[in-house]
C-alpha cells in the first residue's frame, strides 16, 4: 500500500516570501502525483498534477512542483506568496493504473500555510 | 449545479444514532468516491463506485458503514450506531471516468459530530 508524508504541519510566512512544501511518498510502482489546496471555507481543489514527462509541472496561481523519482518526492513551490495563498495544502498519490477499480487517492496529512500581509 | 454537492453540510448525532449522508456528483460522472477526513488529518479513502457498482469498499472502517449508489448517480453513505470516533468530515468526489488520469472533483463535505 502507498503512503504519503508531508514534513511540515504548519508554515507561517510573510507576503512575497518563497514557499516550499515537502512531500514524500512510498510506493513500489509508477505513481501519479497531485497537490490539492483547500482555501478557508472552500472545498478541495486540484492545484497541479504529474503523470509523466517533464518532472517540473506548473499549476494554477503560480505554483509549481518537481517530481524527483530517486527521492520519491514531489515538493510544491511558489516563488512569491500572497495573502490569498493562505490555505491547507495536501499532497496525494495514486498508482498509475488504468483499471476499473478506480484511482483512489492516498493523501498526506496536509500543511496549513498562513501568509501574513 | 456545476459541482459536487453534499447534504447536510453539518450533522450532529447522539452516540448510537444512525445517519445518512448524501452526495450529488457532477452529472455524467461515472466514478464516485467517499473519503473520511478526521480533524487535522488528510482525507482517507472509504469506498468507490463505478456507476452503480461498488468496486472497492476496502476503506470502510467497520460494518457499521454502508454506501450505495443505486441508479449510478446520487450516493448515500450510511453510518449505523454512530460512535464518537466517527466524528469527521465526509467528503465525496466524482470523476468523469475511471483511471488516474481523470481529475477528482470534491464536494464541500459533511461535518459529522457525534456526541
B53-65 tens-digit pLDDT: 999 999 999 999 9
- Residue A98: per-residue pLDDT: 56
Furthest-apart CA atoms within chain A: distance in Å? 46
Cβ contacts (< 8 Å) between A97 and chain B: which residues? Answer: 99-100
Per-residue pLDDT of chain A (117 residues; tens, 9 = 90+): 789 999 889 999 999 999 999 999 998 788 899 999 999 989 999 999 998 899 999 999 999 999 999 999 999 999 999 999 999 999 999 877 655 456 899 999 999 999 998
* CB contact A57 to B (< 8 Å): no
B24-82 tens-digit pLDDT: 999 999 999 999 999 999 999 999 999 999 999 999 999 999 999 999 999 999 999 99
Cβ contacts (< 8 Å) between A32 and chain B: which residues? Answer: 100-101
User: Do residue A98 and residue B48 have CB atoms under 8 angstroms apart?
Assistant: no
Cβ contacts (< 8 Å) between B108 and chain A: which residues? Answer: 42-43
* CB contact A3 to B (< 8 Å): no
* CB contact A43 to B (< 8 Å): yes
- Residue B34: per-residue pLDDT: 98
CB pairs under 8 A between A and B: 80
- Residue A8: per-residue pLDDT: 87
Three cell numbers written together for B60: 470502510
* CB contact A51 to B (< 8 Å): yes
- Residue A73: per-residue pLDDT: 95
φ/ψ of residue A18, rounded to 5: -90, 150
User: Do residue B103 and residue A94 have CB atoms under 8 angstroms apart?
Assistant: no
Cβ contacts (< 8 Å) between B30 and chain A: which residues? Answer: none
- Residue A102: per-residue pLDDT: 62
Which member of A32, A36, A101 has the closest CB to residue B56?
A101
The pairing of strands A10-14 and A111-116 is parallel
* CB contact A82 to B (< 8 Å): no
The H-or-E segment that residue A37 falls in is strand A31-38
Q: Give the Cβ contact number of residue B23 at 10 Å.
A: 27
Q: Is the pLDDT of residue B102 over 90?
A: no
Alpha helices, H only, A15-114: none
Chain centre distance of CA B33: 6
Mutation choice for A interface testing from B26, B100, B108 by most A CBs within 10 A: B100
Q: For residue B48, give Cα distances in angstroms to A46, A61, A79.
A: 19, 31, 37
CA angle A98, B26, A40 (to 5 degrees): 100
Mutation choice for B interface testing from A57, A90, A102, A111 by most B CBs within 10 A: A102
- Residue A103: per-residue pLDDT: 83
CA proximity to B77, closest of B6, B26, B10, B29: B6
- Residue A116: per-residue pLDDT: 95
Amino acid at each position: 500500500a502507498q503512503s504519503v508524508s508531508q514534513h511540515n504541519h504548519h508554515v507561517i510566512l510573510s507576503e512575497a516570501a518563497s514557499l516550499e512544501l515537502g512531500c514524500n511518498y512510498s510506493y513500489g510502482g509508477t505513481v501519479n502525483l497531485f497537490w490539492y489546496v483547500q482555501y478557508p471555507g472552500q472545498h478541495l481543489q486540484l492545484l497541479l498534477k504529474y503523470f509523466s514527462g517533464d518532472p517540473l509541472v506548473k499549476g494554477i496561481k503560480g505554483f509549481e512542483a518537481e517530481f524527483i523519482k530517486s527521492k520519491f518526492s514531489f515538493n510544491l513551490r511558489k516563488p512569491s506568496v500572497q495573502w490569498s495563498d493562505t490555505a491547507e495544502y495536501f499532497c496525494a498519490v495514486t498508482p498509475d493504473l488504468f483499471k476499473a477499480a478506480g484511482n483512489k487517492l492516498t493523501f498526506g496529512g496536509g500543511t496549513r500555510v498562513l501568509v501574513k500581509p | 449545479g456545476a459541482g459536487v454537492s453534499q447534504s447536510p453540510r453539518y450533522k450532529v448525532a447522539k452516540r448510537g444514532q444512525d445517519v445518512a449522508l448524501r452526495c450529488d456528483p457532477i452529472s455524467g460522472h461515472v466514478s464516485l468516491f467517499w473519503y473520511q477526513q478526521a480533524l487535522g488529518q488528510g482525507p482517507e479513502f472509504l469506498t468507490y463506485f463505478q456507476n452503480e457498482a461498488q468496486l472497492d469498499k476496502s476503506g470502510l472502517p467497520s460494518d457499521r458503514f454502508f454506501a450505495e449508489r443505486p441508479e449510478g448517480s446520487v450516493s448515500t453513505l450510511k453510518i449505523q450506531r454512530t460512535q464518537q470516533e466517527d466524528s469527521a468530515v465526509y467528503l465525496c468526489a466524482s470523476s468523469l471516468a475511471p483511471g488516474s488520469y481523470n481529475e477528482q472533483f470534491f464536494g464541500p463535505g459533511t461535518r459529522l459530530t457525534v456526541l
